[in-house]
């Protein structure tokens, strides 16, 4: 006897083969998918469960994975318009300093994470000032979240120093490491706001615990020029030279990357998060996703925060991902829907180190799925 049986669904599994079940049946027990089959088969007829849901006319698919968000920035939605990243950040940081406390961060996180959840996102990678509050908000909503200690060298929120950030990152990891819903990471803001020494310190905390390391990278041309000027290397070369790339590194944006930077990310198995709406709103540019895909980079999708995209809509992000790649490459066959669906599901799960648990409807994985009407 299973706990739950979903019947008559169009099952879009998002597995490696893009398997579809037109009239699918899925059985769940103890939070895990135990059986997936087509209706009418002998197996399907034998399945019994305490609860049966008919999903006739509906699509059932894995919960989406939003790989780059600042959920609590929903408090500032619409506050800053028509500015480039650098000028925009100047305004955002003033607003954040004015009102952010652990309590307002919790409330903002609930708001932003609920928007994700209500549009079918069940897992989020989030970077923010008080990560414990965001983790508690996610737990309250029943979502999965990857976040952790932030690192930021200029005066940030709460007057913390690098040593404080180190303590917070270690405490976060000790508190949430090993849980099935919160996946700790270290989260230096970027190469232009965190020194190489402090980036390495953040990475070593992540490495000690085999956790993720996430940062903004190569978002604007100005950022690339700044890092080139300071360190004599472009952003991705700079990260690579300090041993900061790898299969547990997640880089948000990568809009301005050259062929060599693409090969550095591909060879190191680094994950990239494409944030098309944010890149468009801030006039940052259009990421060469199709070139990164060709190079074999694991591409994922994010919404970024609600101040840089005005909403947290992964469906819009997916449409833009496909459309922008086709338009910029002038090749209508690049990034078809099935690849973009993988970017928003299975690739995200792989980037989080959870490919055996999340990202597709497959026997043995967690029953983390959504209904679409």
Least distance between Zn ion and beta carbon 288 (Å): 19
Q: What is the DSSP string of 60-104?
A: EEEPEEEEEE-GGGGGGTTSS-S--HHHHHHHHHHHHHHH--HHH
- CB–CB of 349/122 below 8 Å? no
Least distance between Zn ion and beta carbon 329 (Å): 25
**Closer by beta carbon to Zn ion, 136 or else 217:** 217
**Closer by beta carbon to Zn ion, 184 or else 302:** 302
Least distance between Zn ion and beta carbon 225 (Å): 20
C-alpha pair distances (Å), 149 with each of 39, 122, 176, 366: 47, 21, 12, 27
Find the length of the chain.
Answer: 373
Q: Distance (Å, rounded) from C-alpha 224 to C-alpha 233? A: 9
Q: What is the DSSP string of 98-142?
A: HH--HHHHHHHHHHHHHHHHHTTEEEEEE--S-HHHHHHHHHHHT
- CB–CB of 346/12 below 8 Å? no
**Closer by beta carbon to Zn ion, 234 or else 308:** 308
Least distance between Zn ion and beta carbon 242 (Å): 21
Residue in the shown chain whose Cβ atom is closest to Zn ion: 304
- Percentage helix, strand, coil for the chain under 3-state DSSP, each rounded to 5: 40, 25, 35
Least distance between Zn ion and beta carbon 267 (Å): 25
**Closer by beta carbon to Zn ion, 75 or else 361:** 75
Tokens for 302, please give them: 């994010």
**Closer by beta carbon to Zn ion, 33 or else 252:** 252
Spatial CA neighbour of 309 closest among 45, 76, 19, 61: 76
**Closer by beta carbon to Zn ion, 7 or else 281:** 281
Least distance between Zn ion and beta carbon 173 (Å): 21
Which residues contact Zn ion by CB under 5 A?
304
Least distance between Zn ion and beta carbon 304 (Å): 5
Q: What residues contact residue 129 under an 8 Å CB cut-off, 6+ apart?
A: 72, 96, 100, 105, 150, 156, 157, 158
**Closer by beta carbon to Zn ion, 96 or else 304:** 304
């Amino acid at each position: 006897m299973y706990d739950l049986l979903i019947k008559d669904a169009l099952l879009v599994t998002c597995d490696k083969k893009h398997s579809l079940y037109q009239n699918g049946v899925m059985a769940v027990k103890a939070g895990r998918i135990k059986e997936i089959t087509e209706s009418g088969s002998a197996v399907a007829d034998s399945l019994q469960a305490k609860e049966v849901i008919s999903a006739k006319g509906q699509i059932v698919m894995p919960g989406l994975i939003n790989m780059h968000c600042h959920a609590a920035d929903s408090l500032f939605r619409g506050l800053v318009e028509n500015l480039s990243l650098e000028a925009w950040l100047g305004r955002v940081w003033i607003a954040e300093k004015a009102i952010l406390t652990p309590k307002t961060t919790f409330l903002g996180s609930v708001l932003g994470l609920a928007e994700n959840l209500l549009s079918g996102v069940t897992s989020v990678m989030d970077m923010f000032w008080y990560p414990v509050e965001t983790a508690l908000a996610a737990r309250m909503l029943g979502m999965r979240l990857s976040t952790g200690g932030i690192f930021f060298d200029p005066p940030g929120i709460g007057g913390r120093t690098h040593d404080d950030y180190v303590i917070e990152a270690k405490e976060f990891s000790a508190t949430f490491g090993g849980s099935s819903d919160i996946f700790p990471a270290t989260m230096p803001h970027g190469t232009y706001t965190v020194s190489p020494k402090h980036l390495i310190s953040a990475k070593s905390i992540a490495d000690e615990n085999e956790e993720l390391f996430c940062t903004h990278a190569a978002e604007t041309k100005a950022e690339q020029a700044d890092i080139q000027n300071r360190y004599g290397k472009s952003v991705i070369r700079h990260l690579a030279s300090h041993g900061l790339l790898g299969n547990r590194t997640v880089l948000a944006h990568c809009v301005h990357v050259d062929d060599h930077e693409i090969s550095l990310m591909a060879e190191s198995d680094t994950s990239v998060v494409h944030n098309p709406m944010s890149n468009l709103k801030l006039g940052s540019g259009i990421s060469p996703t199709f070139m990164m895909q060709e190079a074999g980079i694991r591409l994922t999708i994010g919404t970024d925060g609600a101040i840089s995209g005005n909403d947290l809509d992964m469906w819009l992000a997916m449409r833009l991902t496909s459309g922008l790649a086709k338009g910029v490459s002038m090749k209508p066959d690049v990034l078809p829907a099935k690849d973009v669906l993988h970017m928003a599901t299975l690739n995200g799960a792989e980037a989080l180190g959870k490919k055996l648990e999340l990202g597709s409807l497959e026997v043995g994985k967690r029953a983390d799925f959504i209904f679409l009407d």
